[in-house]
Structure 1
Amino acid sequence: MLRMKDKVALVTGGASGIGLSAAQLMAREGAKVVIADFNVNGAKEAAADIQAQGGEAVAVFVDAGDEFSIKEAVEFTVQQYGKLTSLFNNVGLTNLKKDLDVVNVDLDEWDRLMNVNLKSVLLGCRFAIPHMIEAGEGSIINTASMAGFTGDAVRVAYGASKAGVVNLTRYIATQYGKHNIRCNAIAPGLILTPAAQNNMPPDVLDMFAKYNALPYHGEPDDIGYTVVFLASDESKFITGQTIQVEGGHYIANPTVPDFEQFMKSHHTLSN
Protein backbone atom coordinates (compact mmCIF):
# COMPACT_ATOMS: atom_id res chain seq x y z
CA MET A 1 0.00 0.00 0.00
CA LEU A 2 1.34 3.42 -0.97
CA ARG A 3 1.41 5.61 2.12
CA MET A 4 1.08 8.90 0.20
CA LYS A 5 -1.22 7.97 -2.65
CA ASP A 6 -3.25 10.98 -3.86
CA LYS A 7 -1.01 13.42 -1.98
CA VAL A 8 0.70 16.39 -3.63
CA ALA A 9 3.85 17.61 -1.88
CA LEU A 10 5.99 20.72 -2.22
CA VAL A 11 9.52 20.32 -0.85
CA THR A 12 11.69 23.41 -0.50
CA GLY A 13 15.43 22.87 -0.41
CA GLY A 14 14.76 19.60 -2.20
CA ALA A 15 17.78 19.40 -4.50
CA SER A 16 20.10 17.76 -1.97
CA GLY A 17 20.50 16.38 1.53
CA ILE A 18 17.43 16.08 3.74
CA GLY A 19 15.08 17.67 1.20
CA LEU A 20 16.17 15.33 -1.56
CA SER A 21 15.68 12.29 0.67
CA ALA A 22 12.19 13.44 1.63
CA ALA A 23 11.24 14.09 -2.00
CA GLN A 24 12.48 10.69 -3.13
CA LEU A 25 10.77 8.80 -0.32
CA MET A 26 7.47 10.65 -0.71
CA ALA A 27 7.47 9.96 -4.45
CA ARG A 28 8.24 6.31 -3.76
CA GLU A 29 5.16 6.24 -1.51
CA GLY A 30 2.92 7.57 -4.28
CA ALA A 31 3.01 11.35 -3.82
CA LYS A 32 3.30 13.80 -6.68
CA VAL A 33 6.27 15.94 -5.70
CA VAL A 34 7.41 19.43 -6.61
CA ILE A 35 11.09 19.96 -5.78
CA ALA A 36 11.81 23.64 -5.15
CA ASP A 37 15.35 24.90 -4.75
CA PHE A 38 17.58 27.90 -5.43
CA ASN A 39 19.77 25.36 -7.25
CA VAL A 40 17.16 24.76 -9.92
CA ASN A 41 19.46 22.57 -12.02
CA GLY A 42 19.96 20.28 -9.04
CA ALA A 43 16.19 20.24 -8.53
CA LYS A 44 15.66 19.27 -12.17
CA GLU A 45 18.18 16.44 -11.85
CA ALA A 46 16.43 15.20 -8.69
CA ALA A 47 13.04 15.29 -10.42
CA ALA A 48 14.43 13.43 -13.43
CA ASP A 49 15.83 10.72 -11.17
CA ILE A 50 12.46 10.27 -9.50
CA GLN A 51 10.75 10.07 -12.89
CA ALA A 52 13.27 7.49 -14.06
CA GLN A 53 12.26 5.31 -11.10
CA GLY A 54 8.59 5.56 -11.98
CA GLY A 55 7.62 8.40 -9.66
CA GLU A 56 6.02 11.76 -10.41
CA ALA A 57 8.09 14.87 -9.79
CA VAL A 58 8.86 18.26 -11.31
CA ALA A 59 11.23 21.05 -10.35
CA VAL A 60 10.80 24.75 -9.74
CA PHE A 61 13.10 27.59 -8.70
CA VAL A 62 12.61 29.15 -5.29
CA ASP A 63 14.46 31.88 -3.43
CA ALA A 64 13.48 31.40 0.21
CA GLY A 65 14.47 34.97 0.96
CA ASP A 66 11.91 36.36 -1.48
CA GLU A 67 8.17 36.44 -0.74
CA PHE A 68 7.07 36.47 -4.37
CA SER A 69 9.31 33.51 -5.23
CA ILE A 70 7.78 31.41 -2.45
CA LYS A 71 4.28 32.31 -3.60
CA GLU A 72 5.19 31.35 -7.17
CA ALA A 73 6.44 27.93 -6.05
CA VAL A 74 3.17 27.25 -4.24
CA GLU A 75 1.07 28.43 -7.20
CA PHE A 76 3.19 26.35 -9.59
CA THR A 77 2.51 23.25 -7.50
CA VAL A 78 -1.26 23.77 -7.64
CA GLN A 79 -1.19 24.52 -11.36
CA GLN A 80 0.91 21.44 -12.03
CA TYR A 81 -1.03 18.89 -9.96
CA GLY A 82 -4.37 20.52 -9.16
CA LYS A 83 -3.93 20.77 -5.40
CA LEU A 84 -1.45 20.93 -2.53
CA THR A 85 -1.74 18.63 0.49
CA SER A 86 1.81 18.41 1.90
CA LEU A 87 4.39 21.14 2.44
CA PHE A 88 7.91 20.47 3.67
CA ASN A 89 9.54 23.80 4.61
CA ASN A 90 13.16 22.73 4.54
CA VAL A 91 15.29 25.74 3.59
CA GLY A 92 17.81 26.88 6.17
CA LEU A 93 21.09 28.77 6.34
CA THR A 94 23.94 28.97 8.83
CA ASN A 95 27.18 30.94 8.81
CA LEU A 96 29.90 30.20 11.34
CA LYS A 97 31.96 33.22 10.24
CA LYS A 98 29.30 35.84 10.96
CA ASP A 99 26.77 34.16 13.26
CA LEU A 100 28.75 34.33 16.47
CA ASP A 101 27.86 35.12 20.09
CA VAL A 102 25.38 37.78 21.20
CA VAL A 103 27.97 40.56 21.47
CA ASN A 104 29.68 39.83 18.16
CA VAL A 105 26.98 38.50 15.84
CA ASP A 106 26.79 40.39 12.55
CA LEU A 107 23.39 42.12 12.66
CA ASP A 108 22.92 41.94 8.90
CA GLU A 109 23.49 38.21 9.17
CA TRP A 110 20.95 38.05 12.01
CA ASP A 111 18.36 39.66 9.73
CA ARG A 112 19.26 37.38 6.82
CA LEU A 113 18.89 34.20 8.88
CA MET A 114 15.61 35.35 10.42
CA ASN A 115 14.32 36.05 6.92
CA VAL A 116 15.39 32.76 5.35
CA ASN A 117 15.12 30.36 8.31
CA LEU A 118 11.96 31.69 9.93
CA LYS A 119 10.05 34.10 7.71
CA SER A 120 10.23 31.70 4.75
CA VAL A 121 8.40 29.10 6.87
CA LEU A 122 5.70 31.64 7.68
CA LEU A 123 5.37 32.59 4.02
CA GLY A 124 5.29 29.00 2.77
CA CYS A 125 2.43 28.31 5.16
CA ARG A 126 0.73 31.63 4.40
CA PHE A 127 0.47 30.76 0.71
CA ALA A 128 -0.11 27.00 1.06
CA ILE A 129 -2.83 26.97 3.70
CA PRO A 130 -5.63 28.44 1.53
CA HIS A 131 -5.00 25.69 -1.03
CA MET A 132 -4.98 23.05 1.72
CA ILE A 133 -8.29 24.36 3.02
CA GLU A 134 -9.68 24.04 -0.51
CA ALA A 135 -8.31 20.48 -0.75
CA GLY A 136 -9.90 19.59 2.57
CA GLU A 137 -6.64 18.43 4.15
CA GLY A 138 -3.08 19.41 4.73
CA SER A 139 0.11 18.40 6.49
CA ILE A 140 2.89 20.93 6.98
CA ILE A 141 6.32 19.82 8.13
CA ASN A 142 8.91 22.41 9.13
CA THR A 143 12.62 21.78 9.58
CA ALA A 144 13.65 23.10 12.98
CA SER A 145 16.89 22.07 14.68
CA MET A 146 18.20 20.89 18.03
CA ALA A 147 19.82 24.34 18.07
CA GLY A 148 16.33 25.64 18.81
CA PHE A 149 16.33 23.80 22.15
CA THR A 150 19.88 24.30 23.41
CA GLY A 151 22.46 27.02 23.90
CA ASP A 152 25.80 27.03 22.12
CA ALA A 153 29.01 29.01 21.94
CA VAL A 154 28.15 30.44 18.50
CA ARG A 155 25.25 30.56 15.98
CA VAL A 156 22.95 32.66 18.14
CA ALA A 157 20.91 33.82 15.12
CA TYR A 158 20.53 30.29 13.78
CA GLY A 159 19.42 28.95 17.16
CA ALA A 160 16.95 31.79 17.71
CA SER A 161 15.49 31.36 14.23
CA LYS A 162 15.00 27.62 14.74
CA ALA A 163 13.40 28.18 18.14
CA GLY A 164 11.01 30.46 16.29
CA VAL A 165 10.19 27.63 13.88
CA VAL A 166 9.31 25.37 16.83
CA ASN A 167 6.76 27.81 18.23
CA LEU A 168 5.47 28.95 14.84
CA THR A 169 4.65 25.29 14.24
CA ARG A 170 2.46 25.28 17.36
CA TYR A 171 0.67 28.44 16.26
CA ILE A 172 -0.13 27.06 12.82
CA ALA A 173 -1.36 23.79 14.31
CA THR A 174 -3.57 25.69 16.74
CA GLN A 175 -5.02 28.13 14.22
CA TYR A 176 -5.76 25.75 11.34
CA GLY A 177 -6.43 22.38 12.94
CA LYS A 178 -10.18 22.73 12.54
CA HIS A 179 -9.58 22.96 8.78
CA ASN A 180 -8.03 19.46 8.91
CA ILE A 181 -4.56 20.93 8.54
CA ARG A 182 -1.79 19.54 10.73
CA CYS A 183 1.56 21.20 11.32
CA ASN A 184 4.60 19.54 12.87
CA ALA A 185 8.32 20.11 12.89
CA ILE A 186 11.42 17.95 12.86
CA ALA A 187 14.52 18.91 14.84
CA PRO A 188 17.53 17.09 13.39
CA GLY A 189 20.78 16.63 15.20
CA LEU A 190 23.95 16.15 13.17
CA ILE A 191 22.95 14.52 9.88
CA LEU A 192 25.55 13.33 7.41
CA THR A 193 24.34 15.34 4.46
CA PRO A 194 26.86 16.00 1.67
CA ALA A 195 27.38 19.49 3.13
CA ALA A 196 28.18 18.09 6.58
CA GLN A 197 30.53 15.46 5.19
CA ASN A 198 32.35 18.00 3.03
CA ASN A 199 32.69 20.71 5.67
CA MET A 200 33.13 18.90 8.98
CA PRO A 201 36.60 17.56 9.81
CA PRO A 202 36.76 13.94 11.06
CA ASP A 203 37.74 15.18 14.52
CA VAL A 204 34.51 17.18 14.78
CA LEU A 205 32.43 14.21 13.64
CA ASP A 206 34.16 12.08 16.28
CA MET A 207 33.34 14.72 18.87
CA PHE A 208 29.65 14.46 18.06
CA ALA A 209 29.79 10.65 18.01
CA LYS A 210 31.22 10.65 21.52
CA TYR A 211 28.03 12.20 22.89
CA ASN A 212 25.47 10.28 20.80
CA ALA A 213 23.47 7.63 22.64
CA LEU A 214 23.55 5.57 19.44
CA PRO A 215 26.82 4.30 17.93
CA TYR A 216 26.41 6.10 14.59
CA HIS A 217 25.50 9.41 12.99
CA GLY A 218 22.20 10.24 11.36
CA GLU A 219 21.69 10.12 7.60
CA PRO A 220 19.30 12.09 5.37
CA ASP A 221 16.88 9.15 5.12
CA ASP A 222 16.46 9.20 8.90
CA ILE A 223 14.80 12.59 8.46
CA GLY A 224 13.17 11.65 5.14
CA TYR A 225 11.29 8.72 6.66
CA THR A 226 10.07 10.96 9.48
CA VAL A 227 8.79 13.44 6.90
CA VAL A 228 6.88 10.66 5.11
CA PHE A 229 5.30 9.60 8.40
CA LEU A 230 4.21 13.15 9.23
CA ALA A 231 2.94 13.82 5.70
CA SER A 232 0.94 10.59 5.57
CA ASP A 233 -2.35 9.74 7.25
CA GLU A 234 -0.45 7.47 9.65
CA SER A 235 0.15 10.58 11.78
CA LYS A 236 -3.37 12.00 11.44
CA PHE A 237 -3.72 12.62 15.21
CA ILE A 238 -0.31 14.28 15.62
CA THR A 239 -0.07 18.06 15.33
CA GLY A 240 1.87 20.91 16.89
CA GLN A 241 4.77 18.62 17.77
CA THR A 242 8.49 18.86 17.12
CA ILE A 243 10.04 15.43 16.73
CA GLN A 244 13.69 15.37 17.77
CA VAL A 245 15.66 13.11 15.44
CA GLU A 246 19.12 13.36 16.93
CA GLY A 247 20.42 9.95 17.93
CA GLY A 248 20.06 10.62 21.63
CA HIS A 249 22.75 13.28 21.49
CA TYR A 250 20.89 15.58 23.89
CA ILE A 251 19.06 13.18 26.20
CA ALA A 252 21.69 12.49 28.87
CA ASN A 253 23.69 14.38 31.44
CA PRO A 254 26.51 15.81 29.29
CA THR A 255 29.15 14.42 31.65
CA VAL A 256 28.20 10.78 30.97
CA PRO A 257 30.94 9.97 28.38
CA ASP A 258 33.61 11.66 30.50
CA PHE A 259 32.36 9.96 33.67
CA GLU A 260 32.41 6.56 31.97
CA GLN A 261 36.00 7.20 30.89
CA PHE A 262 36.86 8.26 34.43
CA MET A 263 35.35 5.08 35.86
CA LYS A 264 37.29 2.92 33.42
CA SER A 265 40.50 4.71 34.32
CA HIS A 266 39.72 4.50 38.06
CA HIS A 267 38.97 0.81 37.79
CA THR A 268 42.28 0.25 35.99
CA LEU A 269 44.22 2.17 38.61
CA SER A 270 42.53 0.36 41.52
CA ASN A 271 43.59 -2.98 40.12
Structure 2
Amino acid sequence: MRGLKDKVAIVAGGGRGIGAATAMRLADEGAIVVIGDINEQWAADSAQAIVDRGGRAVGVHLDGTSAASQAAIVAAAQGRFGGLDIFHSNLAGGTEGDVDALNCPEEVFDRSVAINLKSHFLATQAALPALIERGGGAMIYTSSGAASGASPWQVAYPMTKNGIHALARHVASKWGKEGVRANVICPGLIMTEAVAQHLSDDQVRDMRRRTPSARLGEPGDIAAAVAFLASDDGAYVNGQVWHVNGGTQMRD
Protein backbone atom coordinates (compact mmCIF):
# COMPACT_ATOMS: atom_id res chain seq x y z
CA MET A 1 0.00 0.00 0.00
CA ARG A 2 1.17 3.54 -0.71
CA GLY A 3 2.75 5.69 1.95
CA LEU A 4 3.61 3.23 4.72
CA LYS A 5 7.32 2.83 4.05
CA ASP A 6 9.39 4.32 6.90
CA LYS A 7 6.31 5.53 8.76
CA VAL A 8 6.44 5.06 12.53
CA ALA A 9 3.52 3.12 13.97
CA ILE A 10 2.48 2.14 17.48
CA VAL A 11 0.35 -0.95 17.92
CA ALA A 12 -1.12 -0.99 21.42
CA GLY A 13 -2.09 -4.51 22.40
CA GLY A 14 0.23 -5.95 19.77
CA GLY A 15 1.55 -8.95 21.64
CA ARG A 16 -0.86 -11.49 20.21
CA GLY A 17 -3.90 -11.95 18.01
CA ILE A 18 -5.17 -9.03 15.96
CA GLY A 19 -2.51 -6.68 17.28
CA ALA A 20 0.39 -8.97 16.44
CA ALA A 21 -0.97 -9.59 12.94
CA THR A 22 -1.41 -5.86 12.44
CA ALA A 23 2.13 -5.10 13.60
CA MET A 24 3.45 -7.71 11.18
CA ARG A 25 1.39 -6.36 8.27
CA LEU A 26 2.51 -2.78 8.88
CA ALA A 27 6.13 -3.92 9.06
CA ASP A 28 5.71 -5.93 5.86
CA GLU A 29 4.50 -2.69 4.22
CA GLY A 30 7.71 -1.00 5.33
CA ALA A 31 6.63 0.73 8.53
CA ILE A 32 8.67 0.85 11.73
CA VAL A 33 6.56 -0.61 14.53
CA VAL A 34 6.58 -0.01 18.28
CA ILE A 35 4.56 -2.80 19.91
CA GLY A 36 3.06 -2.25 23.34
CA ASP A 37 1.40 -4.86 25.52
CA ILE A 38 0.60 -5.37 29.20
CA ASN A 39 2.64 -8.56 28.82
CA GLU A 40 6.03 -7.17 27.87
CA GLN A 41 7.35 -10.58 26.82
CA TRP A 42 4.54 -10.94 24.30
CA ALA A 43 5.40 -7.51 22.92
CA ALA A 44 9.07 -8.47 22.67
CA ASP A 45 8.23 -11.76 20.95
CA SER A 46 5.96 -10.02 18.46
CA ALA A 47 8.70 -7.51 17.66
CA GLN A 48 11.30 -10.26 17.31
CA ALA A 49 9.11 -12.09 14.80
CA ILE A 50 9.12 -8.94 12.68
CA VAL A 51 12.88 -8.48 13.01
CA ASP A 52 13.40 -12.11 12.01
CA ARG A 53 11.61 -11.33 8.73
CA GLY A 54 13.85 -8.35 8.09
CA GLY A 55 11.49 -5.72 9.47
CA ARG A 56 12.00 -3.00 12.07
CA ALA A 57 10.21 -3.27 15.41
CA VAL A 58 10.63 -3.00 19.15
CA GLY A 59 8.43 -4.29 21.96
CA VAL A 60 7.73 -2.38 25.17
CA HIS A 61 5.51 -2.68 28.22
CA LEU A 62 2.22 -0.80 27.97
CA ASP A 63 -0.53 -0.45 30.56
CA GLY A 64 -3.20 1.18 28.46
CA THR A 65 -5.17 2.33 31.50
CA SER A 66 -2.22 4.48 32.65
CA ALA A 67 -1.71 7.93 31.17
CA ALA A 68 1.99 7.75 32.06
CA SER A 69 2.39 4.43 30.25
CA GLN A 70 0.61 5.73 27.15
CA ALA A 71 2.84 8.81 27.18
CA ALA A 72 5.90 6.58 27.56
CA ILE A 73 5.18 4.50 24.47
CA VAL A 74 4.70 7.63 22.39
CA ALA A 75 7.97 8.99 23.80
CA ALA A 76 9.65 5.69 22.88
CA ALA A 77 8.51 6.05 19.28
CA GLN A 78 9.73 9.63 19.13
CA GLY A 79 13.00 8.95 20.91
CA ARG A 80 14.00 5.84 18.97
CA PHE A 81 12.54 6.57 15.55
CA GLY A 82 12.04 10.33 15.37
CA GLY A 83 8.27 10.71 15.54
CA LEU A 84 4.88 9.07 15.23
CA ASP A 85 2.63 8.67 12.19
CA ILE A 86 0.18 5.90 13.12
CA PHE A 87 -1.38 4.77 16.38
CA HIS A 88 -3.47 1.60 16.39
CA SER A 89 -5.32 1.50 19.71
CA ASN A 90 -6.21 -2.18 19.98
CA LEU A 91 -6.76 -2.79 23.70
CA ALA A 92 -9.70 -4.79 25.01
CA GLY A 93 -10.60 -7.14 27.84
CA GLY A 94 -12.14 -7.23 31.27
CA THR A 95 -15.27 -9.09 30.22
CA GLU A 96 -15.36 -11.67 33.02
CA GLY A 97 -18.49 -11.12 35.09
CA ASP A 98 -19.98 -8.74 32.53
CA VAL A 99 -23.57 -9.89 32.23
CA ASP A 100 -26.91 -8.09 31.90
CA ALA A 101 -27.62 -4.63 33.33
CA LEU A 102 -29.28 -5.96 36.48
CA ASN A 103 -26.50 -8.40 37.34
CA CYS A 104 -23.24 -6.73 36.27
CA PRO A 105 -21.30 -5.71 39.41
CA GLU A 106 -20.12 -2.12 39.59
CA GLU A 107 -16.47 -3.15 39.79
CA VAL A 108 -16.85 -5.22 36.60
CA PHE A 109 -18.40 -2.24 34.84
CA ASP A 110 -15.60 0.05 36.03
CA ARG A 111 -12.94 -2.41 34.85
CA SER A 112 -14.54 -2.60 31.42
CA VAL A 113 -14.66 1.19 31.17
CA ALA A 114 -10.98 1.42 32.13
CA ILE A 115 -9.76 -1.20 29.64
CA ASN A 116 -12.19 -0.79 26.76
CA LEU A 117 -12.78 2.97 26.72
CA LYS A 118 -10.46 4.93 29.00
CA SER A 119 -7.40 3.29 27.42
CA HIS A 120 -8.41 4.62 23.99
CA PHE A 121 -9.00 8.08 25.43
CA LEU A 122 -5.57 8.07 27.07
CA ALA A 123 -3.98 6.81 23.84
CA THR A 124 -5.58 9.71 22.01
CA GLN A 125 -4.28 12.25 24.51
CA ALA A 126 -0.78 10.82 24.25
CA ALA A 127 -0.65 10.36 20.48
CA LEU A 128 -2.43 13.41 19.06
CA PRO A 129 0.28 16.00 19.79
CA ALA A 130 2.88 13.72 18.20
CA LEU A 131 0.74 13.19 15.10
CA ILE A 132 0.02 16.89 14.74
CA GLU A 133 3.73 17.64 15.11
CA ARG A 134 4.36 15.42 12.06
CA GLY A 135 1.71 17.26 10.04
CA GLY A 136 -0.96 14.61 10.61
CA GLY A 137 -1.37 10.86 10.78
CA ALA A 138 -3.78 8.06 11.56
CA MET A 139 -5.55 7.10 14.78
CA ILE A 140 -7.17 3.70 14.29
CA TYR A 141 -9.26 2.20 17.06
CA THR A 142 -10.42 -1.40 17.48
CA SER A 143 -14.04 -1.61 18.61
CA SER A 144 -16.30 -4.65 18.20
CA GLY A 145 -19.39 -5.86 16.43
CA ALA A 146 -20.81 -6.11 19.94
CA ALA A 147 -21.25 -2.33 19.85
CA SER A 148 -24.15 -2.73 17.42
CA GLY A 149 -25.02 -6.39 17.78
CA ALA A 150 -27.62 -6.19 20.58
CA SER A 151 -25.99 -8.43 23.21
CA PRO A 152 -28.55 -9.61 25.79
CA TRP A 153 -25.84 -11.45 27.72
CA GLN A 154 -23.48 -8.49 28.15
CA VAL A 155 -23.84 -4.80 29.01
CA ALA A 156 -20.56 -3.05 29.85
CA TYR A 157 -18.47 -4.22 26.89
CA PRO A 158 -20.93 -3.05 24.18
CA MET A 159 -21.43 0.27 26.00
CA THR A 160 -17.72 0.99 26.14
CA LYS A 161 -17.18 -0.03 22.54
CA ASN A 162 -19.85 2.44 21.43
CA GLY A 163 -17.93 5.15 23.26
CA ILE A 164 -14.92 4.52 21.02
CA HIS A 165 -17.03 5.47 17.99
CA ALA A 166 -17.88 8.84 19.53
CA LEU A 167 -14.22 9.40 20.40
CA ALA A 168 -13.04 8.71 16.86
CA ARG A 169 -15.64 11.02 15.34
CA HIS A 170 -14.65 13.74 17.78
CA VAL A 171 -11.00 13.41 16.82
CA ALA A 172 -11.80 13.33 13.10
CA SER A 173 -13.99 16.43 13.22
CA LYS A 174 -11.76 18.43 15.57
CA TRP A 175 -8.32 17.68 14.08
CA GLY A 176 -9.04 16.64 10.50
CA LYS A 177 -7.93 20.03 9.19
CA GLU A 178 -4.56 19.37 10.84
CA GLY A 179 -4.11 16.15 8.90
CA VAL A 180 -5.37 13.68 11.50
CA ARG A 181 -7.58 10.81 10.38
CA ALA A 182 -9.47 8.82 13.02
CA ASN A 183 -11.35 5.65 12.17
CA VAL A 184 -12.75 2.59 13.90
CA ILE A 185 -12.73 -1.08 12.95
CA CYS A 186 -15.38 -3.39 14.39
CA PRO A 187 -14.23 -6.99 14.03
CA GLY A 188 -16.68 -9.81 13.95
CA LEU A 189 -15.61 -13.22 15.23
CA ILE A 190 -11.89 -13.44 14.52
CA MET A 191 -10.18 -16.77 15.11
CA THR A 192 -7.30 -15.60 17.25
CA GLU A 193 -5.42 -18.02 19.48
CA ALA A 194 -7.48 -16.94 22.49
CA VAL A 195 -10.82 -17.28 20.70
CA ALA A 196 -9.97 -20.67 19.22
CA GLN A 197 -9.15 -22.04 22.67
CA HIS A 198 -12.63 -21.23 23.97
CA LEU A 199 -14.77 -22.51 21.10
CA SER A 200 -15.92 -26.08 20.71
CA ASP A 201 -16.03 -27.76 17.31
CA ASP A 202 -19.82 -27.45 17.36
CA GLN A 203 -19.60 -23.72 18.02
CA VAL A 204 -17.14 -23.26 15.17
CA ARG A 205 -19.43 -25.18 12.81
CA ASP A 206 -22.38 -23.06 13.93
CA MET A 207 -20.47 -19.85 13.31
CA ARG A 208 -19.47 -21.04 9.84
CA ARG A 209 -23.11 -21.81 9.11
CA ARG A 210 -24.27 -18.35 10.21
CA THR A 211 -21.50 -16.41 8.46
CA PRO A 212 -22.36 -15.40 4.86
CA SER A 213 -18.69 -15.57 3.85
CA ALA A 214 -17.06 -18.87 2.99
CA ARG A 215 -14.81 -18.89 6.07
CA LEU A 216 -14.42 -17.38 9.51
CA GLY A 217 -12.38 -14.27 10.16
CA GLU A 218 -8.62 -14.33 10.70
CA PRO A 219 -6.37 -11.73 12.38
CA GLY A 220 -4.93 -10.86 8.98
CA ASP A 221 -8.34 -9.61 7.86
CA ILE A 222 -8.28 -6.89 10.50
CA ALA A 223 -4.60 -6.20 9.88
CA ALA A 224 -5.35 -5.55 6.21
CA ALA A 225 -8.07 -3.03 7.10
CA VAL A 226 -5.77 -1.24 9.54
CA ALA A 227 -2.99 -1.08 6.96
CA PHE A 228 -5.34 0.46 4.41
CA LEU A 229 -6.64 3.08 6.83
CA ALA A 230 -3.08 3.93 7.88
CA SER A 231 -1.84 4.23 4.30
CA ASP A 232 -2.07 6.99 1.73
CA ASP A 233 -4.66 4.84 -0.04
CA GLY A 234 -7.00 5.53 2.91
CA ALA A 235 -6.24 9.26 3.03
CA TYR A 236 -9.85 10.34 2.42
CA VAL A 237 -11.44 8.00 4.96
CA ASN A 238 -12.08 9.88 8.20
CA GLY A 239 -14.51 9.49 11.09
CA GLN A 240 -15.82 6.14 9.90
CA VAL A 241 -16.75 2.87 11.60
CA TRP A 242 -15.87 -0.14 9.46
CA HIS A 243 -17.37 -3.55 10.16
CA VAL A 244 -15.04 -6.37 9.14
CA ASN A 245 -17.10 -9.45 9.90
CA GLY A 246 -17.70 -11.58 6.83
CA GLY A 247 -21.25 -10.26 6.57
CA THR A 248 -22.53 -11.33 9.99
CA GLN A 249 -23.75 -7.74 10.40
CA MET A 250 -24.61 -5.82 7.25
CA ARG A 251 -24.69 -2.08 7.96
CA ASP A 252 -24.67 1.22 6.09
Shift of 1:202: 2.0
1:92 and 1:116 in contact (8 A); partners too:
yes
2:77 and 2:84 in contact (8 A); partners too:
yes
Q: Alpha carbons of 1:2 and 1:27: their partners in 2 closer, same or farther (altered >3 Å)?
A: farther
Which residue in 2 is equivalent to 1:212? 211
Per-residue CA deviation, residues 3-47 of structure 1 (Å, 9 max, x unaligned), is 411310000110110000000010011101000001111111111
Which residue in 1 is equivalent to 2:184? 185
Alpha-carbon separation, structure 2, partners of 1:8 and 1:46: 16
Which residue in 2 is equivalent to 1:159? 158
Per-residue CA deviation, residues 88-111 of structure 1 (Å, 9 max, x unaligned), is 00010142x410000001110111
Shift of 1:150: 2.0
* Structure 1 ranges of 4+ moved more than 4 A: none
Code of the residue aligned with 2:141 in structure 1: it is N
SS of the equivalent of 1:250 reads coil
Higher relative contact order (CA 8 A, sep 6+): 2
Which residue in 2 is equivalent to 1:144? 143
Which residue in 1 is equivalent to 2:43? 43
Which residue in 1 is equivalent to 2:232? 233
1:32-181 equivalences in 2 (<5 Å) = 32-95=32-95, 97-181=96-180
Shift of 1:66: 1.6
Code of the residue aligned with 2:68 in structure 1: it is F
SS of the equivalent of 2:22 reads helix
1:117 and 1:162 in contact (8 A); partners too:
yes
Shift of 1:206: 2.4
Alpha-carbon separation, structure 2, partners of 1:109 and 1:205: 28
Which residue in 2 is equivalent to 1:267? none
Query: Which sections of structure 1, spanning at least 5 residues, go unmatched?
Result: 253-271
Code of the residue aligned with 1:83 in structure 2: it is G
Alpha-carbon separation, structure 2, partners of 1:53 and 1:10: 18
1:2 and 1:30 in contact (8 A); partners too:
no
SS of the equivalent of 2:19 reads helix
2:145 and 2:243 in contact (8 A); partners too:
yes
2:241 corresponds to 1:245 = no
Code of the residue aligned with 1:89 in structure 2: it is S
SS of the equivalent of 2:35 reads strand
SS of the equivalent of 1:243 reads strand
Alpha-carbon separation, structure 2, partners of 1:119 and 1:238: 24
SS of the equivalent of 2:243 reads strand
Q: How many percent of aligned residue pairs carry the same amino acid? A: 37
SS of the equivalent of 1:186 reads strand
Which residue in 1 is equivalent to 2:13? 13
1:14 and 1:23 in contact (8 A); partners too:
yes
Per-residue CA deviation, residues 198-240 of structure 1 (Å, 9 max, x unaligned), is 1122222223222211121000000001110001110000000
Alpha-carbon separation, structure 1, partners of 2:241 and 2:2: 25
Query: Which sections of structure 2, spanning at least 5 residues, go unmatched?
Result: none
* Equivalenced residues, count: 251
Alpha-carbon separation, structure 2, partners of 1:188 and 1:75: 29
2:2 and 2:232 in contact (8 A); partners too:
no
SS of the equivalent of 2:6 reads coil
TM superposition score normalised by structure 1: 0.90
Shift of 1:167: 1.5
SS of the equivalent of 2:33 reads strand
Alpha-carbon separation, structure 2, partners of 1:57 and 1:187: 26
1:92 and 1:117 in contact (8 A); partners too:
yes
Q: Which structure has the greater CA radius of gyration?
A: 1
Shift of 1:163: 0.7
SS of the equivalent of 1:217 reads coil
Which residue in 2 is equivalent to 1:198? 197
